[in-house]
Amino acid sequence: MKLRRPRRKPTVPVNAMSDIAFLLLIFIMLISLINYRQEVPIDYPEAERAEITQVDKNLELWVQKSGDLFHDGKRISLRDAEALIVDAVVADPAVRIHILADRATPYRHVAGVLEVLQTLQHRVVSLVVSESAPQ
């Protein structure tokens, strides 16, 4: 006499799915924090012609109206900026220096950063303007 086993439908464990969803949520939150960029509030200047540069290989220096210089949201001196530039160029010679200055910043403050770059003979520099600049 043959006994037939009742056929069971395969089931998917729902508990494991909630764990996976929770882990994915944590992963996405961590990845979004990695790309966090420290910005200093400035009023971007406009330019007659704008060129889009690569975002991944750059060192950003922020210059406020008062002449304060910032990197990654922290106030630095010109001497610190020089050390940062040297370290960045040693790590990657193709690094581009982005100078972000407020529209009302006197040129002498930006010229200080440009003098440091000239002393170091680094020629890959961009002056960042607003995206809405006419092209």
Where exactly are the structural domains of the chain? 58-127
- CATH T-level fold of 58-127: Nucleotidyltransferase; domain 5 (3.30.420)
H or E stretch covering 126? strand 125-127
The pLDDT value given to residue 110? 87
Q: What was the pLDDT predicted at 37?
A: 63
Tell me the pLDDT of the chain (135 aa) as tens digits. Answer: 677 777 777 777 777 788 888 899 998 888 776 656 666 766 666 666 666 666 667 888 888 888 889 888 889 998 998 999 899 888 988 888 888 887 888 888 888 888 888 888 877 777 776 665 444
Q: In the sheet where 58-63 sits, what is the strand order?
A: 74-76, 69-71, 58-63, 96-101, 125-127
* Residue of 58, 66, 120 lying closest to 94 (CA atoms): 58
Rounded distance, CA 71 to CA 128, Å?
15
Q: What pLDDT does 76 receive?
A: 92
